[in-house]
Amino acid sequence: MRILRISSFSFFFYWRNLLSLGLFLVLIFINQRVISKDLFREVVIQVDTNKYSQSKNSATYLNDRYLFFEVTSVSEECEITFIPEQINHLKIINILPSNDFYVTDTFLLLRNEYFRGKIKFKDLSSTKLIRILVWAKDIDGRESVEEIKLFPYFDTKINGFVEEQELFVNEDKYIDLSVSNAANVRIDEKEWVTNNLVDYKINLVANSLRIYFHPKSTGEELLKLKFKTVRPYLNDLNQLTYDLPTIKVPIKVRPSRINFLKFEYTDFFLDPSFSKNNEVQLDFSRALSMKRTYRIENQQEAGGKLIAELFTVAQVGNNNKILCWLKTYSLHRMNDGYLYVKDGDQTKFMTNFDILQRPKIERVAILKEGAQDWQNNLSVSPGESIEVKIEGNGLSRAEVIFDLGNKYQLDSSRRTDNVMFFNIKIPIEVNKRKIAILMNKEFIGYELQVKEYQRPRDFDFLLLSYDGKNKVPVSNDDFLKPVLFRDVIEDITISFDAKKIDQATKIYGKQVISIDIKMFNERKDLIEFQKIDNITICPGENSPRYSFYDLKDCQKIALSLNQYLIHKTFNLDGWSTIEITFKHNEAKYAEPVYSRKVVIIKEKYVLLDMQVSFPTGLLVKRFGENGIGRFSGISTAFLAQFSFYDRHKIGKLKPYKIGAGLIALDIFNANQAQRDLGLVILGSLSPLRTSRFSFPIYAGGGYFIQSNRWFIVFGPGIQFNF
């Protein structure tokens, strides 16, 4: 049996390493906790005498945590206290500027424990959610920013006590409930709620909720009205809610005190001249006297608004009907409540019907995709999606259609008696020039004018060729810089790829362009300017609208610039420049147009010129002589010399040259034996040069005629260019 022995030193070393590792992990954990902690342990807002804290009055709204607090004014001033997470850690804090509030009292560190200051809100009626950015600097100089999200709300309360309401069948009545912050109560003002004994609806009137009752059957009932808020609030249990306390309304419905007078039909139009009568029939009633005029008002009590007048003409045969004339004076909707037929101020009957504006269209406007404003110009293009707004009177009972099949849709959610909205997709294949608007199957004088698209397209449909082989789109990035061409430019042609203009889902229409041509010689002097105006290129046969375009003025044949130029391209000297500017005709388009300049330069490799130079101090070594040679005096060299252009710099020569010619050695030397005339090949390097003069260093060799010897030379000189 083997026994494992551990020395005390090993045991100590083992536990020391284990303790160090644990301490390291604790430090990492503490560091992470410091990094992940918020700047403030608590945020407290005091409004008047009420205090709200982040720990007690926060709730989640729209996936964010907000501090909810109640305000009483749209420009409320409140005091905010920030309690740091670590005491004596933060040195200073500032509230960053905001459009929602301004700081009225600077935030200062008090008792070395918390920061306190004041802010005042600018307009809480338009700003609901507030975000405060707090900049802080700690004692170590580190800066941090924390976001505090605030949710100020106005208290919303409805007067909960309602006395028992006594109602009568078919007699409408309303009551008003006082409410604070009525705008925050969510109601549907257009809908009637159906109940057992009574139907009701609720409207917002000033700072009250008005409840309209329409009794239907006798009996007693307790209505329980439930309301919700538009924006949430914190209830007494500190819970986020939209629900307001239920309002209980006890009602007692008794039998009707007056009878209902039923009209033959219920739709009438308002006569602005008040001179026309509508002929109607009513059920016979002994309470109606013949040849008598009755007032129809909007309330049962005296002093109501005059809606119409009813004149009883005569009883019709034996069918228990009365022929009447109805004269309208005011607009009325059945949803507005019942009408009352009166003899003087005494109510005889109840009734109800609609008095509407006679349908009339006064204005038609369209809104195109991407546009901000409605326009009265009714021009549309094939494939375009538009919104049409029709304004007028009596439109709620009018049937408006477009002579466009089923390619449009009425927006019923925004339809009123005065306005209608339609969403229309103009078919790409539409074959009409005018789309008529009909109301009640009659033409009303408004039409949508169908016009072909004419939008500027980038110049990818223009193909430029200057080498006689390749056709490159003018929009190509290669033309963003000058094009250098070495060979003879026989011609420059511009052809057209018409199939690129229109696509199945993207229409541009005819493209009208102009071309400006400028030619410069090698000295950058303008030698010619030509302009080709109003070149019209039509979309190709692939266009969905091809059969609808007028093709008479379309350019189909490629353009040759030599047909327009006096200085032909094939006669250009080296470093001559051709600038070709393509631009859309701005008068033909409502949108910004495209413009592109193409620069083509006739490149040159070599320059041959005659030069006279005066080499001085040349080291001349004749073959057959001892030593390294001797230095000459002033010599004269006449050379035919080649210069080479830098491939990376337009029109710039490289500093070295090579030439051949004659050299007169030591022409001013009195010693006849030192002078000589030789045939020479010289290379030169010119580190310093001007347009006419240069100071080269020569190297070369040749043959002296007088001494019949070969030689080599090396040395400086002065050179003149011609």
Q: Are residues 414 and 502 in the same domain?
A: no
Residue 673 is predicted with a pLDDT of 61
Assign residue 321 the CATH number of its domain.
Answer: 2.60.40
Number of domains in the chain: 6
Parent domain of 532 = 459-602
Domain for residue 27, yes or no? Answer: no
Q: Which of 254, 269, 295 is the last residue of a domain?
A: 254
> 467 with 596, same domain?
yes
> Higher confidence at residue 415 or residue 672?
415
153-186: pLDDT as tens digits: 988 888 877 888 888 887 778 888 888 888 888 8
Q: Is the pLDDT of residue 19 over 50?
A: no
Euclidean distance between CA atoms 89 and 36, whole angstroms? 15
Question: Helix, strand or coil for residue 28?
Answer: helix
Residue pointed to by tokens 């139009």: 269
Mean pLDDT of all residues in the chain?
Answer: 85
Spatial contact of 338 and 349, defined as CB atoms under 8 Å apart: no
3-state class of 498 per DSSP?
helix
Residue 564 has pLDDT above 60, yes or no: yes
At 29 the pLDDT is: 38
DSSP letters, 56-80, are TSEEEETTEEEEEEEESSTT-EEEE
Residues 699 and 713 in one domain: yes
- The residues near 336 (Cβ < 8 Å, ≥ 6 apart) are 298
Q: What is the CATH number of the domain that holds 625?
A: 2.40.160
Q: 254, 287, 303: which is the final residue of a domain? A: 254
Exposed/middle/buried for 167, CB within 10 Å: 0-12, 13-18, 19+? buried
**Tens of pLDDT, residues 307-345:** 999 999 998 876 678 999 999 999 998 888 889 999 988
Higher pLDDT, 409 or 18: 409
- Residue 293 is predicted with a pLDDT of 94
* 524, part of any domain: yes
The tokens describing 7, both together, are 């020395």
Q: Is residue 662 domain-shared with residue 561, that is, in the same domain? A: no
Residue 4 domain flag: no
